[in-house]
Amino acid sequence: VPLLDEAEAIDLAITSINRMQNLVDDLLHLEQIQSGVSTAMKRVDVADLLERAMLEAQPMIRHKAQNLQLEVARDLPEIDGDPRWLSRALVNLLGNATKYTPEGGKIVLRAWYDSEAREVLMEVEDNGMGIPSASQKRIYESFYRDPKVRDTIAGTGLGLSIVKSVVDQHNGRLYLSSEEGQGSLFGIGLPAATGNAPE
């Protein structure tokens, strides 16, 4: 086995440190949101929330030359929530879309209002590899990663657990539509703020 030269050894060490830091950060995020201690609820402008999440995700998107589209319906009602954690959830979904979508692929971040359910829906849709049906039942479990990608795509296996915990703390729902080879759509449905929903 050939020995690594100094530059390769340094790169390997930095990669390992970054992976460990990401794991620690995700574990802290998961503990914080599940405990509810750091949750600060207030009225949230959904369009502003999506724009901030999009800006935070831009470096990941640009790195893979992907096309990110923002689609926000007019006159969206506000929601009650913690903008920091809601943004974290959206950035996690965008990060997943980026990882599992090829270079030059398309990702859509959208928000709209379902008047029947009186919910604000925020969705991340991609045209990436999709999720096998067997894995769809387990993807929100902590540390679970699909066997087909765990050795080729970096990740901690905690990103979607964090998203689910954020949604649960906000009395919302998380939904998924995906077909292997056809891309994925992850959605978050949250109640419109009291007295703020259009009829």
Q: Over the stretch 65-105, which tens digit does the pLDDT of each residue have?
A: 999 999 999 989 999 999 999 999 999 999 999 999 999 99
Structure letter (DSSP) for residue 151 = T
Q: How many CB atoms are closer than 10 A to CB 141?
A: 13
Q: Is 199 a residue whose pLDDT tops 60?
A: no
pLDDT in the model for residue 24: 64
Q: How many Å apart are CA 173 and CA 114, to the nearest integer?
A: 13
Comparing CA positions, the residue from 81, 60, 58, 59 lying closest to residue 70 is 58
pLDDT in the model for residue 154: 66
pLDDT tens per residue across span 16-34: 676 666 656 666 676 776 7
Q: How many Å apart are CA 96 and CA 126, to the nearest integer?
A: 10
Q: What is the mean pLDDT of residues 95-119?
A: 94
**pLDDT tier for residue 155 given thresholds of 50, 70 and 90:** low
Comparing CA positions, the residue from 92, 106, 105 lying closest to residue 186 is 92
pLDDT in the model for residue 39: 74
